[in-house]
Amino acid sequence: MDRHIPVLLQESTEGLALKEGSVVFEGTVGLGGHSRVLCEKIGKSGLFIGTDADLESLKIAEERLKDLPCKKLFICDNFRNIDAVLKNAGAEKVDAILLDIGLSNRQLEVAPRGFSFMRDEPLLMTFRSSGDGLTAREIVNEWAEESIADIIYGYGEERYARRIARGIVEARNEKPIETSGQLAEIVKQSVPKRFGKINPATKTFQALRIAVNDELGALREGIAKGFEHLAPGGRMAVISFHSLEDRIVKEFFRQKKEEGIATLFAKKPIVPDNAEIKENPKSRSAKLRIIIKN
């Protein structure tokens, strides 16, 4: 079984103030790390509704949680469709929502979808288990150079976006770009030599992943719909992993506070302590924000 370390586990699950019998929605179940604690807190009279676009992850989480007594519904869907999911589940209002906006270790290290530049895999970058829809391969082989540059700059905040886009177009004119390894090498050759811990392909891969999965659009839609379905006094916790996501969450929460319909759990985002970062280096960029509906 994959090693899985849920990020900000105690802070997020305690911040939701769950009680026995609560109804809780988790937007990205992953491998069920947060889910287990949520189910333990709501007990056998509680209802847990969990979604994930990755069917394999969902199956693993369902197996891991089968010993817990709470009622559980696992649905293969994107959390942006929370309204439809809750309607089908017969749960119009929920007491708590947790959204963990990140890749699981399984998606990075097990599923061969091209998320990682450390291996040579088919260039998909989709969260979906099915192969339909937009892929990174389509973007790098078919989109205009300017569009590719805009994605890499806008979603990856990559200063060498135009050079990388030019390198991609030159490479695909020679032969199609089919794998993550090919793309990583193209990026490396397109930028000045960098010294440091961060791989030169990091920001480009992040940008393509965000574009393929419309992650920012899903986040905007998910938190807006989620807030609508929170019961009075209900809480929503969002764990994000880069500045673009955190900015969206921060702005939405601030707007609801100014409208007088919500209270912020804390003024500043909650971040992992040194002990957690040491145990799980991938958590270092995580930020948790929690809002309480009035």
What pLDDT digit, counting tens, does each position of 241-258 carry? 999 999 999 999 999 999
Residue 128 has pLDDT above 80, yes or no: no
Percentage of the chain lying above the pLDDT 70 cut = 94
- pLDDT on residue 118: 83
Query: Cα separation of 74 and 29, whole Å?
Result: 9
Query: Hey, what domains does the chain have and what are their CATH numbers?
Result: 9-106+215-293 (3.40.50.150), 111-213 (1.10.150.170)
Average pLDDT over residues 99-122: 76
Angle between helices 180-190 and 202-213 (to 10 degrees): 130
Higher pLDDT, 267 or 102: 267
Task: Give buried/exposed letters for 176-209 (b at 16+ CB in 10 A, else e).
Answer: ebbbbbbbbbbbbebbeeeeeeebbbebbbbbbb
Handedness of CA 72, 290, 20, 43 (dihedral sign): positive
Q: Which of 107-111, 121-125, 138-142, 195-199 has the highest mean pLDDT?
A: 138-142
Query: What is the rounded average pLDDT for all residues in the chain?
Result: 93
SS3 of residue 196 by DSSP: coil
Percentage of the chain lying above the pLDDT 90 cut = 83
Angle between helices 82-89 and 215-228 (to 10 degrees): 40
Query: What's at 254, amino acid-wise?
Result: R
Q: How would residue 1 be classed by pLDDT, with cut points 50, 70 and 90?
A: very low
Query: Cα separation of 239 and 128, whole Å?
Result: 20
Kindly report the backbone phi and psi dihedral angles of residue 199, in degrees, each rounded to the nearest multiple of 5, phi listed first.
Answer: -65, 140
Residue 3 has pLDDT above 80, yes or no: no
Predicted TM-score (pTM) of this structure: 0.93
